[in-house]
Amino acid sequence: MELKELIERLDRLQAKKKAYSHATGMLYYDSVTGAPKGGAENRGNTLAVLSETVYELSAGEKTGQLLSELIEKSGELSPVTKRAVNELWREYERTKKIPESEYIEYQMLLNEAENVWHSAKINSDFKSFAPYLEKIFNTNIRFAGYFDPTEKPYNVMLDMYERGLNTERCDLFFSQLRKKLVPLIAAVSESSVKPDNLFLKQSYPVWRQRQLSDWLMEFMGLNRNHCAIGETEHPFTIPFDKTDVRITTHYYERDMASSLYSVIHEGGHALYELHTSDELKNTCLGSGVSMGIHESQSRFYENIIGRGRPFCALLLGKLRELFPERMSGVTEDMLYSAVNISMPSLIRIEADELTYSLHVMLRYELEKAVVEGSLTVSELPGAWNDKIKEYLGIDVPDDARGVLQDSHWSGGSIGYFPAYALGSAYGAQMLAKLKESIDVDAQIASGDISPISAWLEDKIWKHGSMFDPAPLFESCCGPFDPTYYTDYLTRKFTELYNL
């Protein structure tokens, strides 16, 4: 076949894959926002029908044949087409190893598990979710064996979210964090500085909090014509295309900071997706490259910008406007200290910047133990509670605030968590690099962060999935070094807690 025709077929394949991903993604989004509970079965049937075609497009014979012909003509392909073909081939090779019936069954399991997890979390009833979680773990282990029988299953899972990541690298990374952060956390808890955040736990009407979200999205430069915000139990971002990215948040009347930082976090994910290059728009490369790089962006905005002193000054101005009665007497210093209180807590997404990576480390250790077979799913709640006690010294009152708190496992994402800590560390190293050319603090204080975003767009966002995460990171920051992260945290919390 002529190269021109092969490329046309490739374009059609990518357009179809994108359309199916749009449709299934929208069904998911709808299921956690507006869909009535009773529609789950019907949605499951629809997903099963769509999954058949998704499977065929990823791993069907026609796809395999087209890709192998293109690989033979590799030398004649543009860099973008070549990368797209290689990525699709990788997916083809993996997916075809999963028998079609198992693939479809798994999609249906996830759809059902999502609903069961929702009810289980509300009722703090791990037992009702356990059989589903067990199936999800077992399926992931089986699939990992299909993908690469020579590799440890958990390494295969880690690699799916962050190419090149494995337990060896994770163990080393977490041990470096543990060494530096555990003594720092202990010093903070012994400090006589005890900041107060009670003013953040008063009643903040949700309709006003929605106005705050609008302001935050504007500050971040999120184009509302292409980025919408919804409300769900657990905040997340779902990109359909660079012209349609959805973020969600959860408003708590008596915890205004929860939604505030969720919006900034998810907004960081959205910026990345919205600013992938136009050249990649209709290819499989028009989305963020890995979970670690993605989290580096979301956590950069959430913590480095959002919990930094210059932003807190701006934020206070807006809060005074929206909640004058709550903010009377609150100073910049009080707000900055309040949003940076470091205290052992139960919920990962609400954990402070300093203790956060311990929450991640705990999940990493538990996932690894279940996948390696040294822990059963039914033992998870107990093991969870023991580790929280060991690392943070607190008791878990119920599973809703323990093992059931995250949506990742019910969504089949096993091996995802380390990316959160890795992303935080990537972000700190990016900050050091950014500071070489931009006065970051002054820029944030001015209220115009566009030069910072432009730097990230140029170094990270625009490249979509053109490069693997490690070389992409190294191209802007040099070799990865977690010391940037531990130094950043040490500087910040030493100052905050007068250590």
| Binding stretches for Zn ion (CB under 5 A) | 298
- Min CB(419)–Zn ion separation in Å: 9
Judged by beta carbon, residue 153 or residue 418, the one nearer Zn ion is: 418
- Min CB(295)–Zn ion separation in Å: 5
- Min CB(123)–Zn ion separation in Å: 26
Q: Which residues contact 250 (CB under 8 A, 6 or more apart)?
A: 231, 232, 233, 234, 235, 258, 259, 262
Q: How far from 131 is each of 128, 241, 311, 378, 491, CA to CA, in Å?
A: 7, 35, 45, 9, 45
Task: Clarify whether 134 is annotated catalytic.
Answer: no
Q: Are strands 237-241 and 227-231 parallel, antiparallel or unpaired?
A: unpaired
Q: DSSP code of 377? A: G
CA 220 to chain centroid: 18
Residue 57, helix vs strand vs coil: helix
- Min CB(291)–Zn ion separation in Å: 8
Judged by beta carbon, residue 88 or residue 358, the one nearer Zn ion is: 358
Token couple for 224: 């509302």
Residue 225, helix vs strand vs coil: coil
Q: DSSP code of 38? A: G
Token couple for 243: 């012209």
Judged by beta carbon, residue 155 or residue 298, the one nearer Zn ion is: 298
- Min CB(56)–Zn ion separation in Å: 31
Judged by beta carbon, residue 311 or residue 420, the one nearer Zn ion is: 420
CA pair distance 444, 426, nearest whole angstrom = 20
Q: Give the angle 431-167-469 at the CA atoms, nearest 5°.
A: 40
**Torsion angles phi and psi, residue 91, rounded to 5:** -65, -40
- Min CB(269)–Zn ion separation in Å: 6
Q: Are the beta carbons of 212 and 249 closer than 8 angstroms?
A: no
CA pair distance 278, 261, nearest whole angstrom = 29
Q: Are strands 227-231 and 244-249 parallel, antiparallel or unpaired?
A: parallel
- Min CB(400)–Zn ion separation in Å: 21
- Min CB(300)–Zn ion separation in Å: 11
Judged by beta carbon, residue 258 or residue 298, the one nearer Zn ion is: 298
Judged by beta carbon, residue 139 or residue 298, the one nearer Zn ion is: 298
Q: Are the beta carbons of 485 and 176 closer than 8 angstroms?
A: no
Catalytic residue chosen out of the listed positions 114, 162, 266, 353: 266
**Torsion angles phi and psi, residue 42, rounded to 5:** -65, -40
Q: Please give the helix or strand (H or E) that residue 244 lies within, else none.
A: strand 244-249
Judged by beta carbon, residue 298 or residue 405, the one nearer Zn ion is: 298
Closest-CB residue for Zn ion? Answer: 298
CA pair distance 274, 243, nearest whole angstrom = 7
Which residue from 272, 254, 276, 252 is spatially nearest to 262, judged by alpha carbons?
252
Q: How far from 113 is each of 20, 133, 299, 385, CA to CA, in Å?
A: 21, 8, 28, 23
Judged by beta carbon, residue 67 or residue 460, the one nearer Zn ion is: 460
Q: Which residues are catalytic?
A: 266
